[in-house]
């Protein structure tokens, strides 16, 4: 099966309309219909049920759509990675959400620059939950992820550090003077929604910068990793949450990667994180 045929099928399967799929692909409808028919004949299965009013997927079509999407993503990822690897000025692309490095990245970059196999590192800032997609499609070589909120499945990973949570509040909040709180103390408080599907009634936010601005305005409070205190605004306070989650910072990359500069970066990040954890424990 050629990648072109697979791309044609995926377009039709997603649109469930030959006209829209043809427009999306930039081709005429008749050759698209012929290509799908030829694919069905070669596979010996019916992929699409066609009537005068609608197009629907058969069971075989649903399987091919699921596997085809993954295959096309893998091909696109391989193409992007190969092009980057063949550049005259090779580089690594690291993706993270704002504040998603627990304050480690500056030191990691400085230390990595001294490594004999170091290449330029481009840091890409993305929205919440977007790191995995950029890593899967080959846009990025490395990603900073945080458990339990992000999904590292399918990637190679290295744990960097684990930290407790704090609740970030206005200085005049009723809990601001406490040495610590429990989650039950936050009952009735307005919490932010990190996605549109989040059940909270609070404001939708996309990064820690947005949420801290809304906290300062008294619109919400937020439970965040302890490292948020490294750059906390002066008009806010952070109170430890005794029974909050432990959150773990990971660095993730493609399991297929054989890049020596990437491996050197991961080792450097792990070394910096280990030293950072040791300093915290000593303190």
pLDDT at res. 274? 92
Whose structure tokens read 């069971």? 59
pLDDT per residue over 103-116, tens digit each?
999 999 999 999 99
Give which of 63, 73, 57, 45 is closest to 21, Cα–Cα.
57
- Is the pLDDT reported for residue 99 higher than 90? no
As a whole number of angstroms, the distance between CA 181 and CA 160 comes to: 26
In this prediction, residue 206 carries a pLDDT of 79
Alpha helices (H) along the chain: 3-15, 18-25, 29-43, 59-85, 105-113, 131-136, 208-216, 260-282
Torsion of CA 121, 126, 128, 134, to 10 degrees: -70
Structural contact between residues 258 and 200, judged by C-beta atoms closer than 8 angstroms: no
Query: Which of 263 and 99 is assigned the larger pLDDT?
Result: 263
| 165 in Cβ contact with 186 (< 8 Å) | no
Torsion of CA 58, 61, 66, 71, to 10 degrees: 180
Per-residue pLDDT, averaged over 262-275, amounts to 95
CATH class of residue range 3-85: mainly alpha
Residue reference for tokens 């909050």: 244
Each domain of the chain, given as residue ranges in start order, spans: 3-85, 87-157+248-281, 162-246
Q: What angle do CA 263, 264, 268 make, to 5 degrees?
A: 120
Q: What is the average pLDDT across 217-230?
A: 92
Digit-coded pLDDT (tens) for 168-179: 999 999 999 999
The mean pLDDT of 19-33, rounded to a whole number, is 91
The answer to whether the 87-157+248-281 and 162-246 domains have the same CATH topology is: yes
C-alpha 176/C-alpha 239 separation (Å) is: 7
Residues 6+ apart with CB under 8 A from 42: 1
pLDDT of residue 282: 38
Distance CA 102, CA 247 (A): 11
What pLDDT does residue 1 have? 76
Answer yes or no: is pLDDT of 279 > 80. Answer: no
Q: Which residues are within 8 A (CB) of 163 and not within 5 positions of it... i.e. 6 or more apart? A: 102, 225, 226, 227, 246, 247, 249
Of 46, 47, 52, 53, the closest CA to residue 14 belongs to: 47
Q: How many residues does the chain have?
A: 283
C-alpha pair distances (Å), 226 with each of 12, 163, 183, 238: 47, 6, 15, 8
pTM of the model: 0.66
Provide the pLDDT for residue 96.
Answer: 94
CB 240 within 8 A of CB 134: no
Q: Residues near 80 by Cβ (< 8 Å), separated by ≥ 6?
A: 137, 138, 139
Instruction: State which CATH number among 1.10.3720.10, 3.40.190.10, 3.20.20.210, 3.40.50.720 fits the domain covering 87-157+248-281.
Output: 3.40.190.10
H-state helical runs in 86-181: 105-113, 131-136
Calculate the CA dihedral of residues 267, 271, 274, 280 and round it to 10 degrees. Answer: -140
Which whole-number Å values give the CA distances from 82 to 24, 123, 139, 193, 257, in the listed order?
26, 19, 11, 38, 11
pLDDT tens for each residue of 27-69:
999 999 999 999 999 899 999 998 878 899 999 999 999 999 8
Question: What would be the CATH architecture of the domain defined by 162-246?
Answer: 3-Layer(aba) Sandwich (3.40)
Q: Which residue has the tokens 């303190």?
A: 283
More confident residue, 11 or 196: 11
Angle at which helix 105-113 crosses helix 260-282, to 10 degrees, equals 130
């Amino acid at each position: 099966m050629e990648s072109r045929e697979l791309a044609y099928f995926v377009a039709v399967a997603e649109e469930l309309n030959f006209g829209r799929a043809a427009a999306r692909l930039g081709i005429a409808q008749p050759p698209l219909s012929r290509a799908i028919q030829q694919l069905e004949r070669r596979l010996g299965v019916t992929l699409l049920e066609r009537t005068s009013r609608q197009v629907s997927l058969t069971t075989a079509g649903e399987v091919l759509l699921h596997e085809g999407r993954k295959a096309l993503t893998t091909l696109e990822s391989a193409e992007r990675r190969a092009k980057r690897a063949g550049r005259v000025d090779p580089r690594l692309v690291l993706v993270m959400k704002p504040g998603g490095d627990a304050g480690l990245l500056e030191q990691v970059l400085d230390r990595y620059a001294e490594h004999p196999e170091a290449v330029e590192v481009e840091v890409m800032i993305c929205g919440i939950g977007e790191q995995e997609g950029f890593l899967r499609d080959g846009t990025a070589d490395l990603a900073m992820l945080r458990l339990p909120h992000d999904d590292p499945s399918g990637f190679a990973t290295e744990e960097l550090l684990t930290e407790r949570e704090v609740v970030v509040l206005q200085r005049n909040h009723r809990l601001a003077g406490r040495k610590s709180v429990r989650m039950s103390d936050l009952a009735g408080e307005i919490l932010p929604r990190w996605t549109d599907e989040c059940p909270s009634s609070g404001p939708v936010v996309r990064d820690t910068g947005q949420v801290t601005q809304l906290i300062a305005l008294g619109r919400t409070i937020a439970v965040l990793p302890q490292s948020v205190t490294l750059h906390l605004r002066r008009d806010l306070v952070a109170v430890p949450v005794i029974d909050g989650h432990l959150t773990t910072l990971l660095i993730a990359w493609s399991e297929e990667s054989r890049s020596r500069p990437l491996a050197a970066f991961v080792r450097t990040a792990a070394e910096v994180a280990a030293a950072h954890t040791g300093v915290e424990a000593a303190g």
